[in-house]
Amino acid sequence: MLRVGIDIGGTKIAGGVVDDAGRIVDKVRVDTPTDTSELARAVIDMAVHFIGAHDVTAVGVAAAGFIDKDRATVIHAPNIAWRNEPLKATLEAGIPLPVTIENDANAAGWAEFRFGAGRDVDNMLMLTMGTGVGGAVVLDGALYRGGHGIAAELGHVRFTRDGRLCGCGQNGCLEQYASGRALQREANEIADAEPHGIGAELVKLRSEKGTIKGPAISRLVLAGDPGAVEALRRVATALGEACGGFQAVLDPELFVIGGGVAQLGDDLLAPVRLAYETSLPGYGERPTASFAIAELGNDAGLIGVADLAATGE
């Protein structure tokens, strides 16, 4: 059985045809239109293209934002001008198959649970460390959406009281301390604060490039540069401490870490685990979770939403 999965990003729309094993058998990417009506038309055109080329049974569409409990309306989207947008109805008016819509982090988390790093557990949390921090929760084998459909916004748990201003309008959210953007901020602050200490290599980059970007920080981490390693330790510590709290509430068997920062693998996970252990209530006298890096990369969203579309889950 084949389904279409379409993942709407801020700059790209990625679509694919996915089989029962989570394999992509056809894939297309297009730029994301800035006009919302053109965006809907681009999604419809992509779905119709796949329907014409393959024997597919359903269409799933993933998008960043708050999706209502009925998975019919985008209540709010951070990067697209959707407010109470009846997206399911709009798309089904042009797509001759049932359409399922889902939050993009939920879709990616579901893909990892079904086909990736979480395929051997029943209870899993996924956190994606990109520009912000996305989250997905799977409990007893089911994607948890909450009473209004918008659960698992793990990046917007308040991490520090009266902390940094977040794009959501609150202060001190986790994503301000444990994201790819936070890693860049920490690296640049180390460069400015310690020009002759551990930040020497970062200072060099800062003088050459202005702002030190994520790929450069990653290269320095892998090379063992002390300034870059310290920046990563700060971000990883924030994430690990938050995971200790999530463990106390949800008790997952596994945390899956995705997003661009996750490409650092064990260099990231080692300080995450340490901070998790030191912040976990009852550590040493209770079962603990494992940590793993996400396996499906940028395709996770379209794979997950295609699988969710199979049953309309």
Are 25 and 18 a contacting pair, CB within 8 Å? yes
What CA–CA distance (Å, rounded) separates 65 from 180? 19
Task: Give the up-direction half-sphere exposure of residue 228: CA atoms within 13 A in the CB hemisphere.
Answer: 25
Please indicate, yes or no, whether residues 88 and 132 belong to a single structural domain of this protein.
no
Q: pLDDT confidence of 129, banded at 50, 70, 90?
A: very high
What CA–CA distance (Å, rounded) separates 114 from 22? 8
Are 174 and 146 a contacting pair, CB within 8 Å? no
Does residue 313 surpass a pLDDT of 70?
Answer: no
Please report the pLDDT score of residue 216 as a whole number.
94
Q: Structural domain of residue 260, as residue ranges?
A: 121-294
Please indicate, yes or no, whether residues 73 and 175 belong to a single structural domain of this protein.
no
What CA–CA distance (Å, rounded) separates 11 from 27? 17
Please indicate, yes or no, whether residues 213 and 277 belong to a single structural domain of this protein.
yes
Pairing of strands 99-103, 56-63: parallel
Please indicate, yes or no, whether residues 145 and 224 belong to a single structural domain of this protein.
yes
Please indicate, yes or no, whether residues 153 and 232 belong to a single structural domain of this protein.
yes
Please indicate, yes or no, whether residues 59 and 196 belong to a single structural domain of this protein.
no
Please indicate, yes or no, whether residues 94 and 201 belong to a single structural domain of this protein.
no
Are 203 and 195 a contacting pair, CB within 8 Å? yes
Residue 116 forms part of a structural domain: no
Domain total for the chain? 2
Please indicate, yes or no, whether residues 145 and 32 belong to a single structural domain of this protein.
no
Q: pLDDT confidence of 112, banded at 50, 70, 90?
A: very high
> What does the pLDDT average to over 136-158?
96
Please indicate, yes or no, whether residues 179 and 241 belong to a single structural domain of this protein.
yes
What are 34-92's pLDDT values in tens digits? 898 899 999 999 999 999 999 999 999 999 999 999 999 999 988 788 899 999 999 99
What are 259-278's pLDDT values in tens digits? 999 999 999 999 999 999 99
